[in-house]
Structure 1
């Protein structure tokens, strides 16, 4: 994070997480998961991921196919710097522009300038307008202070905010003085402070309770092994391995590679938020491999038991 002539090494951590209830699409008859295939709309054939390119649909419906070389020619920014452009009054940033939020943790060597910037922002009641590279694309963001921590919040571009055009509101219609007085009285009667703990996601709680009730009542569906699922896992691991090999080849076989596709925004001393994502990806791959091995062992044990039972029956 560049603050004048001072560079502050920081690490980015996502400030929010999604707690929405996640459902799977399944076949009602047997509980099998619904899978989607990448199929060409022209010949109806399934298309492997390696043959899929980016396409831009023109206004007349024609498709422009963009190759990897075309994408490389586009302007990108891979800088590791969060550059402060200016300090703007907080009220000038419309909350509608806010996108994703990240906490900035200072490195031990940059603690003092970090605290200096934090305190300066709080005292001035301003936000720092910055440019930052996210996924190789430059975007605007602001730095503000929340609970003693500097928060980086990316912004939408101005043309990404829609202009409301409602014909019903175009007329010169206003409330009467009596109506406004009654509305003001209602506002006063319901006035109070925002207390987050007063509100709960009752939908998520209800779904959790419903699922628990069904489990306790034995309403579970035994789903058989999905056909071709093991092959898909092998293909995925193979694809990841090819990606790693390709990245190593591009670097001359030195260094480490990240095939997880995690965000690679890095700041200051080169540390980044994608380390946690890379660790999660490694753990997931190990878990998948262990599950596949366990499934294979279970099948072998079942087959062996069946053979033994048949032999016993024949002997009797």
Structure 2
């Protein structure tokens, strides 16, 4: 079963509906791996230090903004989190607009809003009201580390959350040399317009998405199946577990834990919060030097272990070539 992107609340007015944010699209692309044609071994992309040429482990990778060529300002995760809205697990509707008033260029990516158990009443109330009024809700939502503009749209039995682009993300049509004069300026005769209208009318029909298929993907899959049945199929190569992204994690949020955390946050007094901040700063000052030395020692051990693993892989590749 698909996992939720996060679990939180759909809010409008004084009504709050517990919901789960679920993906509404399915990736069907055919993914390819690049191999070394000499022995069909997979080619890996490594995080390499541009100065030393050494591989950098995930734990030592930080995010930075290049404010001028070769000059960076480093940000930590707290900087990024603090820039986002405080309502990380809330779809808070700000206003309701006519469904047809949103320019199609703004629509980006759909999600399903799924009601939690015993939250169906508020969910259905909003869905039916929006459908009857022909309106959609405009909201802001934080997904992972970015705040998005979104539209809450009724769609059959579901409420869709469709991410929207911000105006500054769109290119203005005036940036391009488009034919923006009246049709008569391009010597288009009334008879030609009438014939084009008749052609469109003769080709008109109902929108049936199931009538369309990705023919390129179908042909490519057949080519893969044909190649599998022929000679020269590469052998299976087991990859090291170390190359799985060390920062890979699910984005599942436990709803009850979130509620408890919210309640605890509301009870915390400003004085206690200030003490906690001071304690964090004090701890960082005392343990900074020790942590730095520990990191250097761990880095040396990590480099030695990786060098040994690389030597082992080279020897194995040599044996395969000799055997071939």
Among residues 223, 229, 237, which one is paired with 1:216 in the alignment? 229
The answer as to whether partners of 1:55 and 1:65 remain within 8 angstroms in 2 is yes
Among residues 72, 90, 109, which one is paired with 1:64 in the alignment? 72
After superposition, where does 1:128-143 map in structure 2 within 5 Å? 128-143=137-152
The answer as to whether partners of 1:78 and 1:136 remain within 8 angstroms in 2 is no
* Bigger mean CA offset, 214-223 vs 167-176: 167-176
The answer as to whether partners of 1:98 and 1:155 remain within 8 angstroms in 2 is yes
Separation (CA, whole Å) in 1 of partners of 2:152 and 2:198: 38
Count matched residues: 245
Q: 1:223 to 1:132 in 2, by over 3 A?
A: closer
The answer as to whether partners of 1:97 and 1:155 remain within 8 angstroms in 2 is yes
Is 1:260 aligned to 2:249, yes or no? yes
Counterpart of 1:148?
Answer: 157
The answer as to whether partners of 2:127 and 2:158 remain within 8 angstroms in 1 is yes
Among residues 51, 55, 63, which one is paired with 2:64 in the alignment? 55
Counterpart of 1:189?
Answer: 202
- Structure 1: gaps (5+ residues): 241-258, 271-316
Is 1:6 aligned to 2:18, yes or no? no
Q: 1:68 to 1:168 in 2, by over 3 A?
A: closer
Counterpart of 1:159?
Answer: 168
Separation (CA, whole Å) in 2 of partners of 1:216 and 1:236: 30
Residue-by-residue CA offset, 1:88-128 (whole Å, 9 max, x unaligned): 01122112111221111112321111111111000000101
Is 1:125 aligned to 2:134, yes or no? yes
Q: 1:235 to 1:125 in 2, by over 3 A?
A: closer
Counterpart of 2:189?
Answer: 176
The answer as to whether partners of 2:95 and 2:139 remain within 8 angstroms in 1 is yes
Look up the SS of the partner of 1:37 in the other structure.
Answer: coil
What is the CA distance between 1:38 and its match in structure 2? 1.8
The answer as to whether partners of 1:11 and 1:104 remain within 8 angstroms in 2 is yes
What is the CA distance between 1:190 and its match in structure 2? 1.1
Q: 1:265 to 1:208 in 2, by over 3 A?
A: farther
Separation (CA, whole Å) in 2 of partners of 1:41 and 1:170: 49
What is the CA distance between 1:224 and its match in structure 2? 5.4
Q: 1:261 to 1:71 in 2, by over 3 A?
A: farther
Q: 1:73 to 1:23 in 2, by over 3 A?
A: closer
What is the CA distance between 1:187 and its match in structure 2? 1.0
Q: 1:234 to 1:56 in 2, by over 3 A?
A: closer
Look up the SS of the partner of 1:20 in the other structure.
Answer: coil
The normalised TM-score by structure 2 is 0.67
What is the CA distance between 1:14 and its match in structure 2? 0.5
Look up the SS of the partner of 1:109 in the other structure.
Answer: coil
Separation (CA, whole Å) in 1 of partners of 2:48 and 2:258: 45
* Bigger mean CA offset, 89-98 vs 172-181: 172-181
Is 1:45 aligned to 2:54, yes or no? yes
Separation (CA, whole Å) in 2 of partners of 1:152 and 1:196: 21
Look up the SS of the partner of 2:27 in the other structure.
Answer: coil
Question: Quick one: higher RCO (CA 8 Å, sep 6+), 1 or 2?
Answer: 1
Aligned-residue CA RMSD (Å): 2.9
